Structure formats: structure tokens, C-alpha cells
Amino acid sequence: MSEPTRADLDAARIGFWERVPADPRSNGETVPSDGAGHEPLEVIYADEIGPDMKAPPQVVEDLLCEKDVADLYGTSQSGKTTLTVRLSIAVATGSEFLGKRTRRGAVLYVASEAPVNVLRRIQGAKQHGSPGRMPMAVICETVDLFDGLHDVERIVEAARALERKSGVRPRLVVIDTLARSLGSADENATRDMGAVMRNLTNIANAINSAVVIVHHTGKDSQRGARGSSVIYSNADAEILCEHDEVSGIRTLTVKKQRSLGSEGLQLAARFQRLEVGVDEWGKPLTVSVVEPADVPQACRPKPPQPSGANQRIAAGALAAPLRESTSYGKGGAPPLWPCLQLDEAVTIVAASLTCEDRRRVERARQAIAGLVSRGVFGSLDGWLWHK
């Protein structure tokens, strides 16, 4: 495929942005394009930011906000698609998703990898929960989020067509899977994935919806989602899907959430098999449906621990002084949390270290800063407390 010319790119941009409505945050002011496809930058002046500034609307409580691009990833057979379909249905019907509230809206599901499986899971969920009217549509073909804006436009137009048909504004777009929606992009190339992530953001901004991409882990699942680090750095949220084969529980763990600060949140589900029909040979067709579950004890995140000898010494040295402190709720600590002044804590830790005298204060500050960065301690406005 030949490289597009500058004229081709400008024409594509003009065509795309002509289909995107004026941003309501522009206070009704329209700055005309310069004719080369250049759109005005969104500017918010500091003097206009007041105490009534609101957090972005949430699509799924503690998980997704409007205009978020979220990466939901996990190993093969971890239950990513089944859980994402259930999340989509919850948004489409305004029902709870594993105990979390949702803001009802239309859902466009781009089933690039296995459309029949997605349709069957929707069929099973409808039979299992009888959710009633469902403003949800499935795109049953592969899209290309890398090469130009053609398929980005098609997705936006499909979302708008769904809104016209259902009378419900879109809240969520799902891309399942990212790997089957990349066209000729190299998943490991920073430049390629940067373009893909920008196009996903274009979709989110064009229809004011959250976008969830279903993705895979690499060979080492402990190292996060597969591919370029641009995926993680550009995503607004990242959610890990795991399957505990002993208990049969599937868990979703929030690894990143820029707007809500809900990192570490875990939700759990159990799958049940439901018969939805028979195949051409008369054998039963079954599909997994989702039931809420409790997070297994083994899956719950462990509290942060000190790292290294000096941090362990510092944590031990501060334990008794914190217990005996009569200063509560200082800085940003909870109201009943005992606190120490940071300078006092440095003095206590320095006296406990075994390094050269001239380095003790420096090493004590480093150890305390390390404990704060790991989440063992909290610190604000010159106060320190144990989390």
C-alpha cells in the first residue's frame, strides 16, 4: 500500500472533522478552520476554573469515565470477552455491573475477532437476565485503526446511526480485540501504536463516549499488556482480567485510572454455562454467563511493604513513635490516624541507621521518601503517617 500524500491526509482530516459536532465545551464560540484541516485548540483559562469544577461523568462507577480510552487485558481464556459483553449490556440497560452502578447509554461493540462468539454471549445474557430493551449494536467485521481515518469515520457514523435508531446517546464503544483491529500496524512499534491510540481518542471525543479495547498479555503475563508501552501510557484506564483455576473465579483489577484514582479496586465474577440452542447435529449449544462473586482471599492485593534494608529499619523505628503520638489527622491523614512531624521522623530514623554519621540524615530522608512512594506511609504538609 502506497504512503498517503500530505494532500490525502489533509482531505481525510477535513472529511472526518466535518462529521464531528462542535465541542460543547467551547462556550458556543466557533473559530473557523484555516482551510487546511487545522482545528482550533481547546483552551481553558486558569481564571475560569472555579470551585464548582466537576469530575468527568462516570460510565461505570469507579471504572470508566466519558471519553476514557481503557485497556482491558488478560491471558487467553481468562474471560475478557465474556466480561466485556456483560459490562456492555450493563451500560446498555443501566443495570449494575458486578455491584457497580452504570450510566445508561447506547453501546457499539466492534467484534473484529470472533463476532459469532460475541453474538452468542449477548444471546445468553439476554436469556439469563431478561434485561429488556437494549440499545446495543455489534459490528461483525474487522476494522483498521491504523491506516488513515476511514474506519474511524465508519465507527463514528455507526455509533450515530445507533443513536438515531435507539434514541439513546452512545456511552461506550468496545474494540474486541485490539490485535485484530490494527491493520498493518506493528503492535510493538511506538510510532504505529501512537497513531492507533490517537484514533481511539478521536472516536471517544467524537461521540463523547468511553472506549474499551480488549487486549492480550505477552508471554510473561506479569509484565502487563502486550506490545508497545505507548498503549499503557496513553490509556486513561487499564484493567487486568485474571482467572483463578482453583476457585473458578474471574477477577478484574484496576491497574490505572487517571480520573478516579481507583487503582487496586477488584471485582469478581463466576461463569455459569447456559444452553442457548442446538447445533446442526442436534447437540446443545452453551455459552458462559456472568454472576457476581466475592474476590478470593488469595487474589486480594497485599499491603505495600518496605523495600531494602534502610526502608525496613525506618519502618521499624517509626512504629512505636507513631503508636504513641498524640497528633491525629494531620496533613492529609484520616481523622483518627496518629502522625509524626516529618523532621522528627527523619531524626528518629537517622538515629537507627548504621551508615556513616555524615550520611545518616540523607539516608533517613531517602528511606522515608521510598516508604511514601511505595504507599507504606503517607506524607503531606510536613506530616507523616502509616497507611
Q: Tell me, what CATH number does 91's domain have? A: 3.40.50.300
Average pLDDT, the chain: 88
Q: What is the mean pLDDT of residues 204-214?
A: 97
Last residue of a domain, one of 250, 280, 299: 299
Do 168 and 223 have their domain in common?
yes
Helix 342-352 with 360-373: angle, nearest 10 deg: 120
Q: Do residues 367 and 227 both lie within one domain?
A: no
Instruction: Answer yes or no: do 215 and 74 share one domain.
Output: yes
Work out the average pLDDT over 43-62: 88
Q: Are residues 348 and 244 in the same domain?
A: no
pLDDT higher than threshold 50 for residue 161: yes
Q: Are residues 334 and 196 in the same domain?
A: no
* Sequence-ordered list of residues with C-beta below 8 angstroms from that of 294, at least 6 positions apart, any chain: 268
347 cis-preceded (ω within 30 degrees of 0): no
Residues 174 and 258 in one domain: yes
Query: pLDDT at residue 339 above 90?
Result: yes
DSSP-assigned states of every residue in 51-85: TTPPPPPEEETTTEETT-EEEEEE-TTSSHHHHHH
pLDDT-derived band at 139 (thresholds 50, 70, 90) equals: very high
Same-domain status, 188 and 227: yes
What is the reported pLDDT for 55?
Answer: 78
Q: Check residue 344 and give its pLDDT.
A: 95
Structure confidence by residue, pLDDT tens digits, 260-313: 888 889 999 999 999 988 989 999 999 999 999 998 776 666 678 898 899 999
d(CA 138, CA 155): 11
Residue 280: other Cβ atoms inside 10 A: 5
Query: Does one domain contain both 185 and 323?
Result: no
**How many separate domains does the chain show?**
2
Q: Is residue 245 part of a domain?
A: yes
When pLDDT is averaged across residues 147-176 and rounded to a whole number, the result is 96
- pLDDT confidence of residue 243: 93
Asked whether residue 339 falls in the same domain as residue 269, the answer is no
Residues 285 and 343 in one domain: no
Q: 250, 278, 299 — which closes off a domain? A: 299
| Residue 47, domain member (yes or no) | no
Tell if the pTM clears 0.95, that is, is over it: no
Is 77 contained in some domain?
Answer: yes
Among 251, 274, 299, the domain boundary falls at: 299
> Is residue 1 situated within a structural domain?
no
Q: Is the distance from CB of 207 to CB of 159 less than 8 angstroms?
A: yes
Among 154, 177, 209, 184, residue whose Cα is nearest residue 72: 177
Same domain? For 63 and 101 the reply is yes
Does residue 51 belong to any structural domain of this protein?
A: no
Looking at the fold, whether 347 and 258 belong to one and the same domain comes out as no
Whether pLDDT at 357 is above 50: yes
- Cα–Cα distances (Å) from 58 to 105, 200, 210, 211, in that order, read 12, 18, 9, 13
Structural domain range at position 368? 309-386
Question: And the C-alpha cell for 193?
Answer: 501504536
Domain presence at residue 293: yes
DSSP 3-state assignment of 242? strand
Q: Is residue 175 part of a domain?
A: yes
Instruction: With respect to residue 29, please indicate whether it lies within any of the assigned structural domains.
Output: no
